[in-house]
Structure 1
């Protein structure tokens, strides 16, 4: 792609589409979204943009351009902007900026600024080149010639608990957009109460089996995934949890539940990271868990490639973990799934609970506490296979139908 002196891609002569989102860092779901949206648009040359320049192709992602210099270079040329998805409505500038840092720099920034919110915000805004409080939620005026601004299946389950100024900024940007799709009824209700019209749209990741099934199958037949499959002739559970589950008591509870589950089901445990960005998953926590499972067959997937992760889940007996998109990819492949509830989780519904309440059959459990893990896994594994297949088909049909609204906006 030809680049301007400032480093931003030069816009083509026709009205292009910018796919914008948090796929400028390593997070499983965020990296999947632009693949799905580009495939649904059948667009061979979209522009992939985030908050910073980043190259995630080694993980199966994209080469990403920073949105601020991109907007400056674009001038008044018309452009279509699609927010590709994710829990972007509640992501503040401080958290966004830290998650885009290498781990050591993130640790230093958190140590220095986490207890000083005003300085932290100023630092984050300088780093990202924007005064936005919620920088993954773009205002219509950022590109002066913007033809359409669209939000595709975004989430904001805790928008009501956000700082008032951030919430006001987000609502103003949503009011100005041509199309707003949200992925759960909790977010939909909050926007409706604020007078923002929105559509209910399944998360884009429900499409991975339908759109990329063969690609994922190729990954399942090679490399680490093939080795893990061979190591577990009786099958395995795909298991993941974020670093905040890493205290000793929580790891003890998870280990006890997985050990009981493996003993009763005969399945092994395959651990994977759904995100390597700061505040996501930590391999060291997995190593500490493995040390607590001396009698349980367990492997850690080293690969961070999103297609390897999809293949690990698709070839499993089911998924259990804290990642919403671990759950959704399991849904797409009609597999048992269960989200882990953090011991310190608040009473209000998180994004995992909100999504499950919106799209899962009533008999499919959303979450399980760590000290009830074995029973929760047993219950999930007993799910009716045809009911799981029916849900997967329904979600694909629903997403295709709702995505038509985006296509119509771009025509």
Structure 2
């Protein structure tokens, strides 16, 4: 039997990265189950992993999977900022211990040459661009990926070879599509996570979460999320913004870590904010992907630096404001796919204005429906290549 190898950054816990393969599997089982008679589905990452305690899929080591794959197998690279992502960047996301992460991060900024040498030694079996495979006789499918093509358009460039060895390519924003349009045909489609609004029922979601979280559906609350590297604001500025949100809603602002992998470390900064504002905030932690989804779905508004936090809010027609206009992938995505006033990333000193910003609820809902339909159309094209 042929293998359908679903490949991505699934070996570390980070909401968006881990959610995408789960939804792909659910959609495949629901709408294209006949392919299971032809393909054996395997989930692969750079390393073997078991994050099932967070509701994630187990992964096999990618190099082992492709080595044993039968003729006619296909690799599906699912989402994420994979185009142009280097193996040097993997090192920063490889440590669960915050202290070790800080040491390695300092090494990266202060001694980049040494950092790169360490990365190459530790990941000597990993290709320069890990998520752009070039495996003989196994073609690729790129599913709503992000990033940017760089380098020469010739066979010396691994990225070029990987893209040219593809049956189908879709990108999640015009920025990514534009970087490769001169040499491959890449269609643009919304992030595949938008399928959740039609794929995930309330009953299904409630069956996956802690009972104490279910009561959130009866509350009116705001969600705030941020990564210390992406927020680029001090604790005072963050606290001031959260106080304004609290005063508007009159209920504790839910602080929701989404990025658990090193290099994201949402919990570290949000726990410090919670210590500063214990009466105005409620800190959640150690949630599964389904629980994170539920908390966003039931909220009245979402503020965050996480792309897939924003995407989840969009999918469920929740008002959403992306924080920090300098986050390129976030800025590019909302400009392409959401409606005003949510299509412009904000600075924290603009939070007060957003609390009274007018928007069309019907337009927000119709946009969610439109995006889900576009993902369905996209999957029709993708699965036709198998």
Q: Same fold (TM over 0.5)?
A: yes
Task: Identify the residue that residue 5 of structure 1 maps to in structure 2.
Answer: none
Partner residue, 1:150: 141
Q: Distance in 2 between matches of 1:217 and 1:384?
A: 28
Residue 63 (structure 1) aligns with: 58
Over aligned residue pairs, what C-alpha RMSD do you find? 2.7
Given the superposition, is the C-alpha separation of residues 121 and 71 from structure 1 closer, same or farther in structure 2, using an over 3 Å criterion?
A: farther
Matched, 1:236 2:221: yes
Post-superposition offset of 1:175: 2.1
- Whole-angstrom distance in 1 between the partners of 2:102 and 2:153: 28
Q: What is the TM-score with the length of structure 2 in the denominator?
A: 0.88
Q: Secondary structure at the match of 1:277?
A: coil
- Shift of the alpha carbon at 1:36? 1.6
Residues in 2 aligned to 1:358 and 1:365: alpha-carbon distance in whole angstroms: 8
1:17 match: secondary structure: strand
Q: Deviations over 1:269-328 (max 9, x none)?
A: 1111111111103323112212333552x1111123100100100111121100000111
Deviation, 1:334, is 0.8
User: CA shift at 1:251, angstroms?
Assistant: 2.0
Match of 1:4 in 2: none
Structure-1 separation of matches of 2:230 and 2:179: 29
Task: Using the TM superposition, give the Cα deviation of residue 131 of structure 1 relative to its aligned residue in structure 2, in angstroms.
Answer: 4.8
Counterpart of 1:191? 180
1:208 corresponds to 2:196: yes
The residue number in structure 1 matching 2:115 is 120
C-alpha separation in 1, matches of 2:93 and 2:355:
31
* Offset, 1:400: 0.5
- Residue 408 of structure 1: aligned partner: 384
2:313 maps to: 330
Shift of 1:164: 10
Using the alignment, how far apart are the partners of 1:117 and 1:354 within structure 2?
Answer: 28
Match of 1:273 among 243, 246, 257: 257
For residues 380 and 122 of structure 2, what CA distance do their matches in structure 1 show?
37
Whether 1:48 aligns to 2:43 is yes
Shift of 1:354: 0.9
1:154-169 mapped onto 2 (5 Å cutoff): 154-156=145-147, 158-159=148-149, 168-169=157-158
1:51 and 1:128 in contact (8 A); partners too: no
1: CA distance between counterparts of 2:259 and 2:153?
Answer: 29
Q: Deviations over 1:231-268 (max 9, x none)?
A: xx651111100022577x52211211221222123343
Task: Choose which of 243, 247, 250 in structure 2 pairs with 1:263.
Answer: 247
SS at match of 1:178: strand
Q: Aligned to 1:38, which of 25, 50, 55?
A: 25
Instruction: Look up the SS of the partner of 1:378 in the other structure.
Output: coil
Q: Does 1:217 align with 2:223?
A: no
Partner-residue secondary structure (3-state), 2:179:
helix
Query: Matched residues in 1 for 2:100 and 2:66: separation?
Result: 27
**For the residues of structure 2 that align with 1:164 and 1:370, how far apart are their CA atoms?**
40
Aligned to 1:339: 322
Match of 1:366 in 2: 344
Contact 1:206 1:332 in 2 (8 A): yes
Give the corresponding residue for 2:328.
350
Distance, in Å, in 2 between the alignment partners of 1:365 and 1:199 is 21
Q: Distance in 1 between matches of 2:316 and 2:374?
A: 16
Q: Tell me, which stretches of 5 or more residues in structure 2 are unaligned?
A: none
Residues in 2 aligned to 1:364 and 1:100: alpha-carbon distance in whole angstroms: 33
Which string of whole-angstrom CA distances, capped at 9 and with x for unpartnered residues, describes residues 341-368 of structure 1?
A: 07xx3xxx61111111111124433311
TM-score (norm. length: structure 1): 0.83
Cα separation, partners in 2 of 1:251 and 1:377, compared to 1, 3 Å = farther
1:308-323 correspondence runs (5 A): 308-323=291-306
Contact 1:52–1:128 under 8 Å retained in 2: no
Counterparts of 2:159 and 2:198 in 1: how far apart (Å)?
Answer: 32
Task: Describe the shift of the 1:244–1:235 C-alpha distance in structure 2 as closer, same or farther (beyond 3 A).
Answer: same
Post-superposition CA distance 1:378-406 (Å, at most 9, x none) = 32xx4222111101110110000011121
| Cα distance change, pair 237–191 in 1 and its aligned pair in 2 (3 A) | same
